[in-house]
A and B are shown apart, each in its own frame.
Chain A
Amino acid sequence: MTGLWRHELRLFLRQRLALPALALMALLSIASVWAGMAEIERQRDTIARIQPQQAADVAAIAKWVSVEGDAGNAAYYTFHATWDEPSALAFAAIGQRDVAPYILRIRALGLEAQLYESENYNAELALPGRFDWAFVLTYLAPLFVIVLLHDLKSGEREAGRIGLLAAMARNQQALWRRRIGLRIGGLLAALLIPFLIGAALSGASPGLALIFIVVAAAYILFWAMLCLWVGSRGWSSVTNAATLAASWLVLTLILPALGNLAINSVVPVRQGVELTLEQREKVHGGWDKPKQETMQAFFKAYPEWKDTKPVEGGFHWKWYYAFQHLGDLAAAPQAKAYREGLEARDRWTGRFGFALPAVGLQTILHRTARTDLNAGLIYQDRIRSYHKQLRRFYYPYVFNEVPFREADFVKAPQWEHR
């Protein structure tokens, strides 16, 4: 038995395209894992690098604010850092992490004006997409499957050996299974071993890495089946190759692009701009409205501050933070609609994934690696709840008019590092 396998392996490796194809696949897989790990390392470094800078910034603000001890100033001038740690598997599927910010500073003012800030990235570099393992698997690996399998039978037929093989082999089915197994096994090894090394080095959980492996194998298997089905039609090698490459074009480029077009027209989202415009009107309208009206509206949301000293004179921080929060409340319906629009787009993409293997694969990989649109929304949720903590931290100082001293700065809630 092993003799037969070894014999097939020798035959396979003697083919002109076999070894170079496998070597190239392994090289691309290694390069993509390396590039992905370097990028994620860069992101981790950035997150680590900002910590001392952030601490120094807060210390400098604490120095002058604590002289007067005005809590309103402390809340106004102190920015608090938040960040979205990459998951262990993010290196293999960078997803939206190159265009969505993974670090953001916020303060206790209206959040809706701060939440949608973008990062300074070079859009021309983001345009073609990142070179990561998910890309190699989704786009390039099928081409290698096609190279290795398109002439499995037709090649033998064209070389005039097919009859001979049929006559010689004791078990024809087993012969083809061996040949297919060798090719697909080799390809999977070339793809997966670099990934596994990367996953181990990144400390990924074996369960999640297994998801990657299973979907990768299923995806490769899909392409192998397609190759075998086309190969069984009895066409020439060259027709097989052209048909398969055309299928690749349709399945990985054309249909996903058409799908994107369809989703964007079915689910338009422009509430983002609307909600920021709305929030600004509400916040700044606060300056022109009677103070008592603003305070009563705020006390509906936060009755615990109802009985503190009433606002007098032209300006008080209580009143200022009250209308900041009311701006967020006014924009909440649009913020919700905006978010629902994004979630609907994500949901539709998931549905396309059932029909299009490439889309399904990317959806699962990026969901598992927590680098998709949804991961960005979860980060926004975490920022929302942190913002709430911050406000709740500052409110007692502001509403009870407690002086805010240098020691109070360190008491501020810190972002939870995951």
Chain B
Amino acid sequence: MNPIRLIAADEWRLMRRNRVAMLGLVMLLALSVIAALTSIAQRDNSDAIRARFQAQADQAFDGAPARHPHRMVHYGHFVFRPLPALAAFDPGVDAFTGNTIYLEGHRQNSANFGDVRQSSLLVRFGQLTPAFVLQALAPLILIFIGFGIVARERERGTIRQLFAHGVAPRALLFGKALGLGGIAALMLAPGVLALGWLIAFEGAPLAPSLTLLAGYAAYLGIWVLLIVIASSLAAHARTALMALIGIWAFTVILLPRIAPDVALATNPTLTRLETDIAIKEDLRKMGDSHNPDDPYFNAFKQRTLKQYGVEKVEDLPVNYRGLLAVEGEKLTSKLFDDYADRQFAAQKAQSRFTDTVGLLSPAIALRRLSMSAAGTDLEGHRRFLSQAEGYRFAIVQQLNQLQATAITYDDDSNRNKDPEAGRRVRIDPKNWQKVPDFRYQAAATGEKLQAALPGMLTLLGWLVVLGFGMRLAIRRLADAA
């Protein structure tokens, strides 16, 4: 057997006898299993509830009675964001974003009922998911198990015996790394099983799942190397322990919290209230539909009359009120898109900043990779918001078109005075069934992988740097020997 494997096997034999190490490992594995089971159950449950609510909303819309189409514009629709299968591994921002939006004419509502606002502050301690266990807890347990892996040998003087027996410093360190890497692989096992389950039974996409696996493996690999290097360079096991806990606290707990503060301060975004007011203000400037002499809507009227070659709106073959509704919605929707684009751009800049900080923290880089591959990052939520807005615009315009074509201008104008006209403007409810249902299009695999790439590159960069660190540690050991 080659010396590296021998050293690793020896390390495993020792660890089996180390009660503290075994306790830590068993605890982590138990947590991983609990996290995987509850996370999968919770994902399935949430997704089923959302699907049920979506079906209920679709049914309510299709089953609405005969109404004026503009009533249906205000009745609106609800859409729910489905939860991807991989959210069972890393729910990402799901709890922090609302998962349902009420869509109606003239207005853009927010996505509501995110879990965070429905939970006590306990949720801010972190949610127990496979991602959280592997990102935050596994490195710390690895530190407890491995901080003395080389330093202990030196403190007891056994390292000299090893060298005397002809073990090269290189073989020693790589053997130790292999030994600790085996433990890390064991820690990853429940996560691998969970991913396997998600692929086999819940339709999780293969390539993003493998990317997740590779990312977490690289991340734990980084910690294994860090621990071996620190344990090798430190004078005492205790110094190594302190230094490693310090690095962990800094990169896993502290930096991920500081980076958002800086990002928010440097890239402020408008609140909903300000956006709302700004859109209304812009709208008034573009054209005021309440003003009978408004230049914009007068020009629209002249254009329409000319197009149909008639003198008065009463003579139009279509209902002018419907056309006005179509035009008005076009204006507001354009503004909604503009402001949303600006908001997303600012948020993207904020996230880019934290990604840059992620160069210093493998945990931040891994989180980016993990959320992107799982499809639970902010981009996933943005997709939902913009698809929901697209859908809102489409159904509102479909209903406005119905108002223009299925109802006469005369009836529409007299619907509140003449009961007969009032009856005629309530059109056949079969029209509601012709409105398509909302289908959320998740990001394609290629897009997910591309979004995960920067995180992956950062992790690989760390591995390369730590490779040099290993060389340094080996040289130091060789000098000492």
Contact = CB atoms under 8 A, between A and B. Distances in A.
Contacts of A245: 140, 144, 241, 245
10 contacts: A53-B278, A118-B114, A119-B271, A120-B269, A120-B275, A242-B241, A245-B245, A252-B125, A280-B75, A372-B120
Interface in A31-47: 31, 35, 38-39, 42, 46
Interface residues on B, range: 35 or more
Contacts of B67: 287-288
Nearest to B115: A264
A81 B114 CA distance: 23
Interface of B: 20, 24, 31, 34, 38, 49, 53, 56-57, 60, 65, 67, 71, 74-76, 78, 92-93, 96-98, 100, 102, 109-128, 132, 136-137, 140-141, 144, 147-148, 237-238, 241-242, 245, 249, 253-254, 256-258, 260-261, 263-265, 268-278, 280-281, 284, 288, 290-291, 343, 347, 350-351, 354, 367, 371, 377-378, 381, 415-417, 419, 422
Given A120-B269, A147-B242, A260-B125, A284 B102 contact: no
A346 B123 CA distance: 11
Interface string A334-374: 00000001100110110010000011001100100000110
A57 B280 contact: yes
A164 interface: no
A99 B121 CA distance: 11
Contact of A242 (B124, B144, B265, B280): B144
B344 to A, nearest CB: 10
Contacts of A342: 118
Contacts of B97: 123
A50 interface: yes
Given A123-B378, A270-B49, A314-B417, A253 B238 contact: no
A46 B271 contact: yes
Interface stretch (A173-181, A187-195, A233-241, A396-404): A233-241
B128 A128 contact: no
Contact of A349 (B121, B140, B242, B419): B121
Interface of A: 17, 28, 31, 35, 38-39, 42, 46, 49-50, 53-54, 56-57, 60, 64, 79, 81, 95-96, 99-101, 103-105, 113, 116-131, 135, 139-140, 143, 147, 151, 237-239, 241-243, 245-246, 249, 252-254, 256-261, 263-265, 269-270, 272-273, 276-277, 280-281, 284, 287-288, 313-315, 341-342, 345-346, 348-349, 352, 358-359, 362-363, 366, 372-373, 376
A280 B264 contact: no
Contacts of B141: 249
A326 B217 CA distance: 57
Q: Which 4 pairs show the lowest CB-CB distances between chains A and B?
A: A314-B416, A125-B260, A123-B93, A256-B125
Contacts of B132: 257
Contact of A81 (B34, B74, B109, B273): B273
B57 A124 contact: no
Given A120-B269, A253-B136, A260 B111 contact: no
Q: Describe A's contact surface by its main secondary structure.
A: helix
Contact of A348 (B120, B136, B245, B268): B120
A238 B241 contact: yes
A142 B38 CA distance: 30
B167 to A, nearest CB: 24
Nearest to B270: A120
Given A57-B277, A257-B125, A257-B127, A346 B242 contact: no
Contacts of A272: 112-113, 118
Given A38-B265, A120-B275, A263-B122, A258 B128 contact: yes
B385 to A, nearest CB: 10
A315 B416 contact: yes
Given A252-B125, A373-B120, A130 B148 contact: no
B245 A35 contact: no
A313 B122 contact: no
Most B Cβ at <10 Å: residue of A101, A143, A147, A253: A253
Contacts of A42: 264-265, 268
B125 A238 contact: no
A125 B264 contact: yes
Contacts of B114: 99, 118
A99 B381 CA distance: 15
A121 to B, nearest CB: 8
A139 B253 contact: yes
A16 B76 CA distance: 67
B271 A345 contact: no
A50 B274 contact: yes
Given A103-B273, A256-B125, A288-B67, A117 B56 contact: no
Given A263-B122, A273-B53, A101 B20 contact: no
A49 B270 CA distance: 11
A335 to B, nearest CB: 13
A151 B74 CA distance: 69
Given A124-B354, A143-B245, A256-B125, A117 B272 contact: yes
B98 A118 contact: yes
Contacts of B140: 245, 249
Contacts of B123: 260
A178 to B, nearest CB: 24
A118 B110 contact: yes
B256 A128 contact: yes
